Amino acid sequence: MANWHDYAVRGRVPEWPYPIRYENEQVIETDVLVLGGGIAGCWAAIAAASEGLRVVLVEKSATIRSGAGGPGCDHWCDAPANPSSKVDPDDWAQRLASANGGYANGIGRQIQCRENYDTILELERMGGKIRDTEGEFKAAEGYDEKTKFVFSPRSNPFHESNVVMRVWGTTFKPALKRECQRLGVTIYDRVMATGLLNEAGAQGQRVVGATGFNNRTGEFTVFKAKATILCMSGSAPIWTFDTELAALSTFRPRTLSGDGIAMAWRAGAELALLEKSERHRLGGGHKHHWYAGAGDASYENVPLVDANGKVLPGGLSLPHWGRKSDPGDGRVGGGAWEQVREGVLKGEYELPIYGDFPAMAPIERNVTWKFLLREESGTKIIVDSYEESGFDAAKDRLMAYQLLEGTSPPQWREIYRGVERGGVMIDWDLKTNLDGLYAAGEQLFVAGDHSFAAATGRYAGRKAAAYALEVSHAAISREQVAKEKARVYGPAKRTEGIDWKELHAAIARVMQWFCAEYKTERLLKMGLESLNEIEQRWVPHLYASDPHKLLRGMEDLSILNYAQAILHSSLARKASTQWLDFQRIDYPEMDPPESNKLTTIKLENDQAVPGERPLNYAGHLKKNYEAHNRDYTGVWKG
Amino acid sequence: MPETVYAVPNIPTPNRPVIIDAIICTGCNDCVEVCPIDVFIPAAERGEPPILLHPEECWYCGCCVNHCPTGGAIKINWPIQQRGYWQRASTGQNFRV
């Protein structure tokens, strides 16, 4: 039973299956509060609980598989401290921090490079599978006899670094949840965190907890905490809304709606580089396009051919083993694709393009098809579907959709495809500018991927625990709680008006018109005025007929706040820069030297206050990391 | 032809991201609990398959299928417009999921 016709035939519409407890309130007190139960959140909770503290984990989905990395993970990237690595962790971190014109998160990268190998060893002890102990892929390139790790050519064009490990990531999230439970972490699944609580209810003051509601029952919870860690995604569908594309280009689930960014913004936390966005590319670069997009990680060793089996020019997938080419060429949109496009238009290559699995050595084909594609987040179901339909990787070429689908219109943008994007500003303790508030994983500006989330989550949990041991609980402001309750329950009290889909589409259209390819002071200000108009005129009409739709409505309000912060940040950057795909028509000079800095934005007395930091604000990565972690012991001894 | 034609609104799309086999399904609701998006609700009757209440929100992550303890009670059902193609290398013939 799934649609109105079914209901009509049965003669009734089912009642909501969960008890409705709108406005019931419970108050939970804890030492460390972790908001978001994805990869970073689970690691933060485990690290804090390991210090013997009371930890509460709040997850609006189901912790066992929630988050972008919940269903799985095929690569543990940038792990230079592993014993088979041929590069120095500090050098590797510096290299990552110097990428993208220096618009990088040096602190996060240094933590990742120093600690993510320790992190994955802990994960193995919890039950995560990280080694080919059965020797199934012993004959494959990258298999390391000593450690039984299977290394990837990713970030490894010359097979000289061994910094990226191929892993059995479908085992990770259940193992992390079990470890949380073993350590006594109290998990609140299906509870959406809605807002941070400041001391005395004053924006910019210490964070002393958060509010949330159960998206099945509607029950409200006030969490009181000594330290709070934001571990939600920085990603959100700000510029687009279309359920027709639900299964397409959706590396991020619908639940990632920027709640953490929105609540950090409202609480007065400093955010960096929110002005970054880029054109959405439907035809590749995102994983769930049936693995048809080359340039995708898991195509790292799959040769691409045209419709007649003619091999396309080098660099279209990440480098093959032993092939010395620039890994940058392999990214969608790189120079190699221009070459292919020209060849197609001249008749040199015929569309469509295919991934030529049969041409691969059987062991390498198995690594990709039977191992990586079954372990990556959300892709097991894809390879299973192909095989059930008759696809045989030994005989069949998988179609790719580059060029056929092309790029989206320029106003269909996304926050990021790669890593260069905005997020929460932090110091060397992964602490924000607000006392008591920490952040990790994709919540950070210019975050990395799965192993970045894991290592920074673990680090933030450790630092937040140390802080919590030193401080007392502070009183929460009942006035702030009452205000938040009114905000959350407004839509549940109405029985008509506009629904969450219409609101989301309205916000997205404003961003398409006023904050896309063409940016000027006038357009950006019109965008802000339009969003404010939506907030004042239409949000008061938002209605939700059950707690699930209330969840989606509250996500829209996060998206609205996130969009407002993006516009403020875009107004603050009075220059164009290629590194952030950011072009101001009224400031046409690209990357003038004085503009090479981190733009920051925060609310003070509900007014947006811009700021800036030098790109290298993290300072000397190795020295500063060591100064802040004198007692840390890991595998890497320097 | 149906005996009774009901006046119902259009249904959202995609509207059937999974297909549940009511004979195999034991109504354990493991899929309801694992779904990151919460697209299902449990049926009112114990042992009955869950209701797919919010199909257009599905992320197609496959967690419900992968976690199903009966193995086969629930299958992914890709929207037609998104079903992928492949080519048999030896013949050049194209197929589709």
Residues 49-68 of A with CB under 8 A from B: 61-62, 64-67
Q: What is the dihedral of CA A575, A581, A585, A587, to 10 degrees?
A: 10
Q: Is residue A529's pLDDT more than 90?
A: yes
A75-76: strand order across its sheet: A75-76, A165-166, A150-151
Contact B44 A15 (CB under 8 A): yes
Number of A/B CB contacts below 8 angstroms equals 169
A62, A309, A548 member nearest B34 (Cβ): A62
Q: Is residue A292's pLDDT more than 80?
A: no
Chain A residues closer than 8 Å to B42 by CB: 17
Chain B residues closer than 8 Å to A290 by CB: 82-84, 97
Sign of CA dihedral A45, A47, A50, A53: negative
Q: Is residue A64's pLDDT more than 90?
A: yes
Structure confidence at residue A254 (pLDDT): 78
Structure confidence at residue A594 (pLDDT): 95
Q: What is the pLDDT of residues A32-47, one digit of tens each?
A: 999 999 999 999 999 9
Residues 42-81 of B with CB under 8 A from A: 42-44, 51-63, 65-67, 76, 78-79, 81
Contact A2 B15 (CB under 8 A): yes
Structure confidence at residue A533 (pLDDT): 98
- Interface check for B11 against chain A (CB to CB < 8 A): the answer is yes
Our CA angle for A334, A331, A152, nearest 5°, is 145
Contact A399 B87 (CB under 8 A): yes
Determine if residue A309 is left, alpha or beta; phi over 0 gives left, psi from -120 to 50 gives alpha, anything else beta: left
Q: Is residue A61's pLDDT more than 60?
A: yes
Contact B84 A292 (CB under 8 A): yes
Q: What's the gap in Å between the CA of A554 and the closest CA on chain B?
A: 14
B36, B56, B65 member nearest A66 (Cβ): B36
> How confident is the model over A345-372, as a mean pLDDT?
92
Structure confidence at residue A281 (pLDDT): 63
Say which CATH topology domain A489-614 has. Answer: Methane Monooxygenase Hydroxylase; Chain G, domain 1 (1.20.58)
Lowest mean pLDDT among A175-184, A287-296, B41-50, B76-85: A287-296
Contact present, A343 and A308 (Cβ < 8 Å): no
Q: Band of the pLDDT at A295, cuts 50, 70, 90? A: very low
Contact B78 A62 (CB under 8 A): no
For an interface test with B, which of A306, A381, A404, A405 has the most B Cβ atoms less than 10 Å from its Cβ? A381
Chain A residues closer than 8 Å to B61 by CB: 65, 70-71, 253, 377-378, 381
Structure confidence at residue B11 (pLDDT): 85
Q: Band of the pLDDT at A246, cuts 50, 70, 90? A: low
Chain B CA closest to residue A290: B84
Q: Which two tokens stand for residue B79?
A: 């929207």
Q: What is the pLDDT of residues A262-283, one digit of tens each?
A: 999 999 999 999 999 988 765 4
Q: Is residue A1's pLDDT more than 70?
A: no
Contact B52 A65 (CB under 8 A): no
Q: Is residue A394's pLDDT more than 50?
A: yes
A307 burial via Cβ count (<10 Å: 0-12, 13-18, 19+): middle
Chain A CA closest to residue B38: A61
Chain A residues closer than 8 Å to B90 by CB: 395
Contact A1 B96 (CB under 8 A): no
A18, A62, A384 member nearest B36 (Cβ): A62
Chain B CA closest to residue A174: B34
Count of all residues that appear for chain A in the document: 638
Query: Around A215, how many Cα atoms within 13 Å sit in the side-chain half-sphere?
Result: 28
Contact B6 A8 (CB under 8 A): yes
For chain A, percent of residues with pLDDT exceeding 70: 90
Every domain range in chain A assigned CATH 1.20.58.100? 489-614
- Across A1-15, A219-233, A336-350, the highest mean pLDDT is recorded for A219-233
- Interface check for A20 against chain B (CB to CB < 8 A): the answer is no
Q: What's the gap in Å between the CA of B54 and the closest CA on chain A?
A: 8
Tracing tokens 């066992």 back to the chain, one arrives at: A64
Please name which of A250, A236, A275 lies closest in space to residue A581, comparing C-alpha atoms.
Answer: A275
Mean pLDDT rounded to a whole number for chain A:
90
Structure confidence at residue A249 (pLDDT): 52
Please name which of A417, A195, A505, A67 lies closest in space to residue B37, comparing C-alpha atoms.
Answer: A67
Domains of chain B by residue range: 18-96
**What is the per-residue DSSP string for A481-527?**
HHHHHHHHHHHHH-SSSB-HHHHHHHHHHHHHHHSSSSB-HHHHHHH
Q: Which two tokens stand for residue A406?
A: 């092309």
Structure confidence at residue B55 (pLDDT): 92
Q: Is residue A170's pLDDT more than 50?
A: yes
- Interface check for A174 against chain B (CB to CB < 8 A): the answer is no
Q: Is residue A405's pLDDT more than 90?
A: no
Distance CA A542, CA A218 (A): 16
Q: Band of the pLDDT at A174, cuts 50, 70, 90? A: very high
- What are the backbone angles phi and psi of residue A600, rounded to the nearest 5°? -125, 160
> Out of 3.30.70.20, 3.40.190.100, 2.60.120.260, 3.40.190.10, which CATH number does the structure's domain B18-96 have?
3.30.70.20
Chain B residues closer than 8 Å to A394 by CB: none
Q: What is the pLDDT of residues B15-69, one digit of tens each?
A: 899 999 999 999 999 999 999 999 999 999 999 999 999 999 998 889 999 999 9
Determine if residue A406 is left, alpha or beta; phi over 0 gives left, psi from -120 to 50 gives alpha, anything else beta: left
Structure confidence at residue A19 (pLDDT): 97
Q: What is the CATH number of domain A26-67+173-278+411-470?
A: 3.50.50.60
Structure confidence at residue A488 (pLDDT): 97
Q: Band of the pLDDT at A602, cuts 50, 70, 90? A: very high
Contact A378 B41 (CB under 8 A): no
Chain B residues closer than 8 Å to A292 by CB: 84
- Interface check for B19 against chain A (CB to CB < 8 A): the answer is no
Q: Is residue A326's pLDDT more than 70?
A: no
Q: Return all residues near A631 (Cβ < 8 A) that are at least 6 apart.
A: none
Chain B residues closer than 8 Å to A213 by CB: none
Residues 379-408 of A with CB under 8 A from B: 380-382, 384-386, 389-391, 395-399
Our CA angle for A479, A485, A486, nearest 5°, is 90
B56, B58, B89 member nearest A395 (Cβ): B89
Q: DSSP H helical segments within A398-476, as ranges? A: 450-470
Contact present, A432 and A439 (Cβ < 8 Å): yes
Q: Band of the pLDDT at A331, cuts 50, 70, 90? A: very low
Q: What's the gap in Å between the CA of B26 and the closest CA on chain A?
A: 16
- Interface check for A505 against chain B (CB to CB < 8 A): the answer is no
The one-letter amino acid code at A178 reads R
Q: Band of the pLDDT at A418, cuts 50, 70, 90? A: low
Contact A4 B38 (CB under 8 A): no
Contact present, A330 and A336 (Cβ < 8 Å): yes
Q: Is residue A289's pLDDT more than 70?
A: no
Chain A CA closest to residue B32: A62
Q: What's the gap in Å between the CA of B88 and the closest CA on chain A?
A: 4
Distance CA A224, CA A318 (A): 47
Q: What is the pLDDT of residues A84-98, one digit of tens each?
A: 999 999 999 999 999
